[in-house]
Amino acid sequence: MKTRTLPNLGNFFQALENFGLFLSKPWKKHTGAFPILGTPAYAKTIATRSAGRATRHHGRLLSGAAALALLGSAQAVTLDECVRAALEANPDALAAEARILAAREAVKQATSAYFPTVTLSSTLARTDNAPQAFFMQLNQRDASMQNDFNHPGNVDNWRNSVGAKIRLLDAGQRGFQRDAAKLGAQAEGAAKRALDNELTHQVTRAFYGVLQAQAFVQVRKESVETLTESSRVANERLRAGSASKSDVLNIEVRLAEAREDLIRAQHGVQLALAALNTAIGREVVGETALPQAAKQAAPRAPLIEKNLDAVEGRAELEAARLAAQAQEKVQRKTERENWPTISAFGSADWDSAVNADFQQSYFVGAVAEWDIFTGFRQSGAAAEQKARTAAAKAAAQKALNNLRLDLKQAQLEAREAWERLNVTQQSVASAEEALRITRERYRQGAADVTELLTAQVGLTATRSRDTAAYYDLLVAQSNLKRARGELAK
């Protein structure tokens, strides 16, 4: 993958600054408070201001694109870089950000109910209907008792109006609706933190999956090298007459199997790399940017608490509880819909015949409304929302139970991985010593080829289990942090 670099934005922003300042005022008037164009003072001022702007713009660009550009370079990527790229590029993260924005706009919509609605209208009409024509002429201040009211002829009217209406009292419906929207926005924010927590773990697991795949390749290479050396020794003994042809053939068969396993391991790296890019959300990590699969210090033993109250800090639980509270607000708002409401309204109107002067009028008032019977629609809606509230509360309790189980499983998996690693680390040393002794005995003719192959296969299998246990522990520790809700920043 080619290295992606960001353009030098300093000159670009400096050019924009120069051009903007040049257009803002005639250049001859740049005296006193601002340096004259072309002077050293002017150049120094422009350089200072444009450098500051370039730094700010460049910093904002680095927060998104630069992280991905770093991953596309030839340098080995780090886990933190992969996580940052995933939180910015993963489709799930982008969708969560969009849902948060939608929830915030829903709060604005709910708050708008406290403001008046203002409407502008313009109507041009013609009629020969006697009552309508009479009232048009009244609005135009043009009605006369000398007119024939039964046969008014064609009457034109052009009306321009400004109308306004506002809800004064609604038994708290607007407040409950706004509170529900705010709680919904908070729930979306908690859901985003829960997603970040889960996504961080998924990227971490995929990252260690790549390292584990590379480590498996190294194990298979060492197996091929060991069998190649054994094949050389067997051929020497065959030439010396102290080994049979079958010994050489058996080792060659096992060497071919080891090379086949190496091919599978190498393709496993490609598959693990694809999984990492999928977790990030974009194809940003290439083979040249892979980290080295080198074991670090042995991980510490995971801390296992008997108390499962750590799940109280999980964002998933917070989101479920906020959703239940929002639904309860919706229920109370629905219950208040069968209460009376009071609204005020008013309009200012300008009426005129075509090509005549406008005559102004106004109309204001208040209205009280109370739906005393709706065919049981209102009672059914209230019962529905009450049931939905009960379901939301049950879902929050279920989330708590599931999160407790999730934490317990994560604790057990971490403990299991730790114990497996302790066993495999000891067995690797034993398998290496067993192979050394068997190989020496084979050189001296005290051991047959079957014992040698058994020792070599045992060492390869033990190293593979040790590698798997090591990275399984790293993944398990990340999973334990996820179960505690500690990965979301």
Please tell me the distance from the alpha carbon of residue 391 to that of residue 408, in angstroms, as a whole number: 26
- Who wins on pLDDT, 474 or 236? 474
Instruction: Describe the strand order of the beta sheet including 117-127 as a list of residue ranges.
Output: 117-127, 155-169, 341-352, 359-369
* Predicted TM-score (pTM) above 0.85: no
* 356 located within any domain: no
Structural domain ending residue among the three candidates 75, 104, 124: 75
Highest-pLDDT range among 163-172, 309-318, 422-431? 163-172
- Who wins on pLDDT, 50 or 92? 92
Burial call 363-379: b when 16+ CB within 10 Å, e when fewer:
eeeeeeeeeeeeeeeee
The tens digit of pLDDT for each residue in 206-254 reads: 999 999 999 999 999 988 998 888 888 888 878 887 778 888 888 889 8
Structural domain ending residue among the three candidates 11, 42, 75: 75
User: What is the residue type of 273?
Assistant: L
- Tell me: do 200 and 67 sit in the same domain: no
Domain count of the chain?
2
Asked if 51 and 10 touch (Cβ cutoff 8 Å), the reply is: yes
What pLDDT sits at residue 238?
84
Asked if 142 and 153 touch (Cβ cutoff 8 Å), the reply is: no
Lookup: tokens for 311: 């799940």
- Tell me: do 66 and 201 sit in the same domain: no
Beta strands in 170-280 (DSSP E): none
- Tell me: do 310 and 457 sit in the same domain: yes
Tokens 């996820």 sit on residue: 482
Tell me the residue range of the domain where 456 lies: 195-323+391-484
Q: What is the mean pLDDT of the chain?
A: 82
The tens digit of pLDDT for each residue in 249-292 reads: 888 898 999 999 999 999 999 999 999 999 999 888 887 777 66
Structural domain ending residue among the three candidates 75, 106, 126: 75
Lookup: tokens for 109: 């919509």
